[in-house]
A and B are shown apart, each in its own frame.
Chain A
Amino acid sequence: MTPTLTVNGEARPLTPGLTLHALLRDLNVNPSRVAVGVNDDVYPGARAPHRTLEAGDVIEIVRIIGGG
C-alpha cells in the first residue's frame, strides 16, 4: 500500500524522504504567510524545518482571513 499523508484534510501520497520544507515548496505555498502543523507540533511557515515526514502524519497549513 502506498504510504500517505493527510494535508489539510486530504490524503496525499508520501514520497520517501519528503521534508516539510519540500512539501510547502511542492504545494506552491507562500511560507511567509502561513502556519504549519505536523501532528501536535506547529511551525511558522517561514521557518518550516527540514523535518522528514512519515506515513500517517497529519499536516495543517493555515492562514489568516477575515472573521469576527
Chain B
Amino acid sequence: MAPDAFTLGGKAFASRLMTGTGKFTDFGVMREALAASGSQIVTVAIRRVELRAPGHDGLLDALDWDALQLLPNTAGCRTADEALRVARLARVATGVNWIKLEVIPDARYLLPDPVGTLRAAEALAADGFTVLPYVQADAVLARALEEAGCAAVMPLASPIGSGRGLRNPELLRTVLDGARVPIVVDAGLGVPSDAAQALELGADAVLVNTAIAEACDPVGMAHAFALGVQAGRAAFLAGRMPERAHASPSSPTSGVVRLPDPEVPL
C-alpha cells in the first residue's frame, strides 16, 4: 500500500482525485485527461439505450477498467425510487456494486434531496451496495448516512458544473469534524486551488469533472488538479499555522537599526 493511501469501500487508492466522464469532446481527450489526473476512481452515468439508433457509445471500451474503480452514478434521478431503480440496473450493467447516489429534484441548482437521499442510501446499503451519497455539507445528515452504512459522504462545494469553488467551508468543517467515513468533496470545484483548499481542510478526496472537461486544455488541467490535490493533502498532514487577527513580524524585533525619533515640530 502506498504511504498515506486513501481507503474507500475496503480498497486502497494512491490518488485522492476522483473524476467524472461527462462533457469531454471525445474519448481520446478523456482518456488522456484521466491518465494525467492519476485518478483511480471514475464515475459514469446510466441512460436508456436509444432504440431508434441502437448501439453503445463505447465508454466501457474507451478506458482500462481493470486499472480503475468504476463508480456508476444515479445522476438524473429525481426521487429515491428512481435512484434505487438506476442503482440496481447499474449493478447488473457493470458488475460493480459501488454507486454514487444522487437524488436531485431541482433542475436549476441541481441541489440534492436530503430526505430521499437518506432513504435510498439505507435501502442500497442494506442491499449490499457500497454507497457514496451526494449531499449538501450538513453534519447531521452526514452522521445519519454513516449510520445507514454509507462508505463515504460526498458534500458539494457549490452547484454541479458551476466552477464556483468551495462556498461553504465552515459547513464542510462541521462535516469533517468527527467523520468516521471518508469525506469526498464533489461538485463545483473550478480550479486546482479549490481542490487544495478542500484537502487542506481535511477532506479525504475530491471529485472533479466539469473543471477538467471544460478547461481549454483538459489534459493540462487534469495534471494541475492532481498537483492541487497533492499540495492540499500535504498541507493538511503538515498542519497549518494558527490564524491571527493582527500581524506578527517574521524578522527578530531586537537589534533593529533605528534613527532618532523625528522631533515633533513646534
Contact of B22 among A30, A45, A66 (CB under 8 A): A66
Asked if B240 is an interface residue, CB under 8 A from chain A, the answer is: no
Number of A-B residue pairs, CB cutoff 8 Å, is: 110
Contact A67 B92 (CB under 8 A): no
A27 to chain B, nearest CB (A): 6
Task: Please report the C-alpha to C-alpha distance between residue A44 and residue B59 in the assembled complex, in whole angstroms.
Answer: 17
Contact B49 A29 (CB under 8 A): yes
Contact of B44 among A10, A27, A30, A65 (CB under 8 A): A65
Residues of B within 8 A of A (CB-CB), count:
38
Task: Please report the C-alpha to C-alpha distance between residue A44 and residue B25 in the assembled complex, in whole angstroms.
Answer: 29
Asked if B23 is an interface residue, CB under 8 A from chain A, the answer is: yes
Question: Which chain A residue shows the least CB distance to B93?
Answer: A35
Asked if A2 is an interface residue, CB under 8 A from chain B, the answer is: no
Residues of A within 8 A of B (CB-CB), count:
26
Asked if B236 is an interface residue, CB under 8 A from chain A, the answer is: no
Asked if B231 is an interface residue, CB under 8 A from chain A, the answer is: no
Asked if B210 is an interface residue, CB under 8 A from chain A, the answer is: yes
Task: Please report the C-alpha to C-alpha distance between residue A9 and residue B55 in the assembled complex, in whole angstroms.
Answer: 18
A18 to chain B, nearest CB (A): 15
A36 to chain B, nearest CB (A): 8
Contact A63 B46 (CB under 8 A): yes
Chain B residues with Cβ under 8 A from A45's Cβ?
93
A60 to chain B, nearest CB (A): 6
Contact B94 A64 (CB under 8 A): yes
Contact with B along A52-68 (1 / 0, CB 8 A): 00000000111111111
Contact with B along A21-53 (1 / 0, CB 8 A): 000000111100111110000111100000000
Binding site for A on B (CB under 8 A): 20-24, 30, 43-49, 51, 54-57, 59-60, 72-73, 75, 85-86, 88-95, 160-161, 207, 209-210
- Identify the 10 closest CB pairs spanning chains A and B, nearest first: A67-B45, A68-B20, A68-B209, A35-B93, A66-B21, A33-B56, A68-B22, A35-B89, A67-B22, A8-B48
